[in-house]
């Protein structure tokens, strides 16, 4: 038998974050991407409820979704801030807009999302305040603001829907634009992260709502999203497996390589298949209704981002 060609490459470079293995992004970036997707899901759900006239059917999602989105967005931005090596330069993101840099337009989307979500969040607060009889809400300025916003409910919903979709896709495009990392170099990561974000947003609302009707509706919708997410994950892996040498090596990380166990057990198994089974059996009234499946969807969404961000750094083009 002919001996295989031997190739070994070594370098005297020993730069932190780069050698011996690349690790420039730690836990902060997947956490940021997770909260970004979650916020996108909450905003899209609120906007969809508003635009389809389902506010009564989805009381929690339509009223508290945008309200919840703001602190969650804050947590995501805080994680991103922690990742920056030059924290005092954080405002440099807003000195320019570079269309070829997803991180540039993404940072602008984050600001726009925060501003756009304020209006429906304020409306939720006013509705709650009226119910509880908060006197300060009766002041003319606040009443005028409330009247102004009430006349623009549809426009605000459209705005939040657009920005929610943009935010969800951006969290995936941020990775897929980095062609030097074959694991990430797939445009399907945009729609994949959007669907995953929508799924986690629905799971959070289904967990927190007191309305059984809303929970049942959201759980059924989430089952569809889980199926779409599984389809996108399959397409992503298929795309890598049928690509060039670097892409095939990237696919091998999940098909027998070091990320196989964590990907198939935590992301696909615990994060998608188990919750799908739990919710389906609850719908069929075979098993009791629990919130375990919803919690697993959230954990699975987080794990998807942890695994992909970490695996992407495991190999570059040409090894």
Partner 1 sequence: MPAGVNKRLGMAVNLNRCVGCSACAIACKSENNVPPGRLRRWIHEKTAGRFPDLKMQIWSESCMHCEDAPCVHSCPTGASHVDAATGTVQVHPELCTGCKACMASCPYDARYVHPDGYIDKCTLCVHKLEHGEEAACQSICPTSAIAVGDLDDPTSEISRWLRDRNALVRKPEAGTKPKFFLVE
Assess 130 for contact with partner 1 (CB under 8 A): no
Peptide bond connecting 314 to the previous residue in cis, omega within 30 degrees of 0: no
Residue where the block lists tokens 């942890």: 306
Of 157 and 189, CB closest to partner 1: 189
What are the distances in angstroms from CA 123 to CA 60, 88, 266? 13, 34, 38
Report 148-207 residues binding partner 1 (CB under 8 A): 177-181
Report 93-122 residues binding partner 1 (CB under 8 A): 93, 95-96, 98, 100-104, 106-107
- Min CB(1)–partner 1 separation in Å: 12
- Min CB(23)–partner 1 separation in Å: 10
One residue of 43, 157, 218, 246 binding partner 1 per CB under 8 A: 246
* x-marked contacts with partner 1 along 11-40 as a string, rule CB under 8 A: xxxxxxxx---x-xx---------------
One residue of 227, 244, 258, 265 binding partner 1 per CB under 8 A: 244
Alpha-carbon Rg of the chain, whole angstroms? Answer: 22
Q: Hey, how many other C-beta atoms are within 10 angstroms of the C-beta on 213?
A: 12
Assess 284 for contact with partner 1 (CB under 8 A): no
- Min CB(251)–partner 1 separation in Å: 17
Q: Taking Cα atoms as reference points, which of 36, 43, 105 lies closest to residue 72?
A: 36
- Min CB(30)–partner 1 separation in Å: 13
Contact between residue 215 and residue 231 where contact means Cβ atoms under 8 Å apart: no
Of 22 and 223, CB closest to partner 1: 22
Of 25 and 287, CB closest to partner 1: 25
- Min CB(58)–partner 1 separation in Å: 36
Of 71 and 318, CB closest to partner 1: 318
Cα 109 to chain centroid distance, Å, stands at 14
Say how far apart CA 304 and CA 192 lie, in whole Å.
Answer: 10
Phi, psi for residue 309 in degrees, rounded to 5: -65, -40
Report 74-93 residues binding partner 1 (CB under 8 A): 83-90, 92-93
- Min CB(171)–partner 1 separation in Å: 14
Contact between residue 78 and residue 236 where contact means Cβ atoms under 8 Å apart: no
Question: What are the structure tokens assigned to 122, written together?
Answer: 């304020």
- Min CB(249)–partner 1 separation in Å: 12
Say how far apart CA 47 and CA 54 lie, in whole Å.
Answer: 10
Phi-psi region of 133 (alpha: psi -120 to 50; beta: other; left: phi over 0): left
Cα 13 to chain centroid distance, Å, stands at 36
The residues binding partner 1 (CB under 8 A) are 2-18, 22, 24-25, 83-90, 92-93, 95-96, 98, 100-104, 106-107, 177-181, 244, 246, 313, 316-318
């Amino acid at each position: 038998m002919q001996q295989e060609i031997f190739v070994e490459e070594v370098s005297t470079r020993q730069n932190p974050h780069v050698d011996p293995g690349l690790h420039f992004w730690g836990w902060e970036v997947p956490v940021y991407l997770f909260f970004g997707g979650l916020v996108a899901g909450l905003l899209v759900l609120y906007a969809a409820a508003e635009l389809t006239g389902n506010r009564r059917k989805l009381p929690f999602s339509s009223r508290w979704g945008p309200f919840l989105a703001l602190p969650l967005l804050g947590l995501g931005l805080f994680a991103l801030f922690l990742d920056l090596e030059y924290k005092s330069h954080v405002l440099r993101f807003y000195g320019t807009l570079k269309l070829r840099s997803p991180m540039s337009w993404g940072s602008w989307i984050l600001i726009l999302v925060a501003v756009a979500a304020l209006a429906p969040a304020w409306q939720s607060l006013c509705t709650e305040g009226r119910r509880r009889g908060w006197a300060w809400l009766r002041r003319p300025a606040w009443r005028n603001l409330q009247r102004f916003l009430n006349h623009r409910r549809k426009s605000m919903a459209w705005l939040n829907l657009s920005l929610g979709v943009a935010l969800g896709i951006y969290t995936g495009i941020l990775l897929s634009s980095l062609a030097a990392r074959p694991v990430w170099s797939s445009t399907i990561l945009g729609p994949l992260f959007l669907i995953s974000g929508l799924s986690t947003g629905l799971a959070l609302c289904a967990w927190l709502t007191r309305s059984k009707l809303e929970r049942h509706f959201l759980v059924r919708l989430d089952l569809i999203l889980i199926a779409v997410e599984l389809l996108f994950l399959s397409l992503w892996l298929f795309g890598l497996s049928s690509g060039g040498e670097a892409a095939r090596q990237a696919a091998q990380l999940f098909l027998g390589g070091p990320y196989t166990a964590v990907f198939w057990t935590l992301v696909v198994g615990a994060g998608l298949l188990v919750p799908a089974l739990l919710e389906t059996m609850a719908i069929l009234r075979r098993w009791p209704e629990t919130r375990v499946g919803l919690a697993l969807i959230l954990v699975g969404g987080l794990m998807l981002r942890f695994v992909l961000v970490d695996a992407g750094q495991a190999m570059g083009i040409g090894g």
